[in-house]
Copies of this chain bind each other. A is one copy, B any other.
């Protein structure tokens, strides 16, 4: 069903191979609890999102930028009333996030085992290299992957650079991921293929994308179904 030429398969990592966003959601909830004495509960996370978006160009993606944005938001929305002890609690929340356990999603190991002998598999992520290396090591999946490609963002230009660096043509590449905005649209726009594997929890920022023409890419319910396509 997919073009025969495919040589390299790019896998998104967070929420495609393993659970990630739910840990961020849980951290945001704990952040809201810490902020409850200063700010209406369950609204602090909106302010946090605002700060994250303001800092995105400067910090990029990943847990460290998220930690800095939590601290900055706490100072702002408490109008500098937050205590040093509470800032310490926020730092601990962030460190816990960096040490999150790796919970593989359904079918991941089966899929990688089947694809590994026939394709070069890479992890293509916009997280932080050290953090993603740590997660990959903990996941037990490291031997399936040729290497990790860190992208500062997942725009068309970044996928073009990736394809150049891999020394292949767009038709040789398929991307598998849970985010239509980051893993699917920019990839099909440059002439490569993409398979969408939705995850139940998506970061607000990833939902901000153009309308999609679903005839241009395949969506599967479960990761294991990609084996019927590839």
Task: Show the binding face of A for B, using Cβ within 8 Å.
Answer: 58-60, 62, 64-65, 67-68, 71-72, 75, 78, 80-85, 87-88, 91, 94-95, 98-99, 128-131, 133, 146-147, 150-153, 161, 164-165, 167
10 residue pairs A–B, Cβ–Cβ below 8 Å:
A59-B130, A60-B130, A68-B94, A71-B71, A71-B91, A72-B91, A81-B84, A129-B151, A147-B161, A150-B150
A164 CB contacts on chain B under 8 angstroms = 147
Partner of A152, one of B129, B151, B152: B129
How far is it, in angstroms, between the C-alpha of A129 and the C-alpha of B124 when the chains are bound?
14
Contact A78 B68 (CB under 8 A): no
How far is it, in angstroms, between the C-alpha of A25 and the C-alpha of B114 when the chains are bound?
51
A88 CB contacts on chain B under 8 angstroms = 72, 75, 80
Q: A84-B75, A161-B147 are in contact. Are A59 and B68 (CB under 8 A)?
A: no
